[in-house]
Amino acid sequence: FRTLIADIMEQRRREETRRNDFLQLMADLERTEGEKFDMEMITSHAVSFFIDGYETSSTSLSFVGFNLASHPEVQEKLREEVVSVLNKYDGVITYDALKEMTYMDQVFNESQRLLPAVGFLDKFCTEETDLRGSDGLVCHVPRGMHILIPIMGLQRDSRYWEDPEVFDPERFSNERKHSIEKYAYLPFGEGPRMCVGQRMAQLQIKACLAALLRKYRLELSPKTRVPLKLTGSTFINAAEGGLWAIIRPI
């Protein structure tokens, strides 16, 4: 990946042809400031865009598809919303149309709660501190310590969620979402270092679901191993044997 990025950057520095992407922005900024950026920095950002903008979004979309195929009543309710909203926009999937699909937000959020794209957050302590829990427990964290926050564990903890193993989009309805314990739902992290691509990921997934559900029905394939068992071998969650669906025209 380092070699690929380095080769592309050298090409962008030489050529006058412009591209609409991150590496072009870096090449343009180099010309403006008159000095080259560190390739490790550029490569790390490119990797971040690739993983955050593709892998996690595709994983999240796969899990949403699995949950919709497993719960046809939820899928049908969501389809009704998609068709109803798109009819107001002459069948065109627009930003405003996607914003109106509030039940889709509930479905997406609940899928992220039950099956987040990543199972934990990895944080690095830059300043010595004491973490105080609601139960009074104090944990001393020295500077330089790595902290793993178990997203999936928190989001399936019965102390914070009623029937945590049940897929229920109504948890995130306007009437109930305010009762969700703060920091018990962290699919994108929280605070100043939360995922910068959250809104982009949501729009990508909502647009894909709208295009799919208006014309097709998702059914669970026998090839999918149920109940799901996650591999646990990678940072990004994945189901053993993969996620398979039958897509039928309506």
Length of the chain: 250
Under 8 Å CB-to-CB from 186, ≥6 apart: which residues?
Answer: 121, 149, 151, 154, 155
Distance CA 165, CA 156 (A): 7
- Residue 125 assigned ligand-binding role: no
Contact between 9 and 23 under an 8 Å Cβ cutoff? The reply is yes
Return the ∠ at Cα 19 (arms to 18 and 21), rounded to 5°: 140
E strands present in 107-195: 121-124, 129-132, 138-141, 146-149
Binding residues for heme: 195
Binding residues: 195
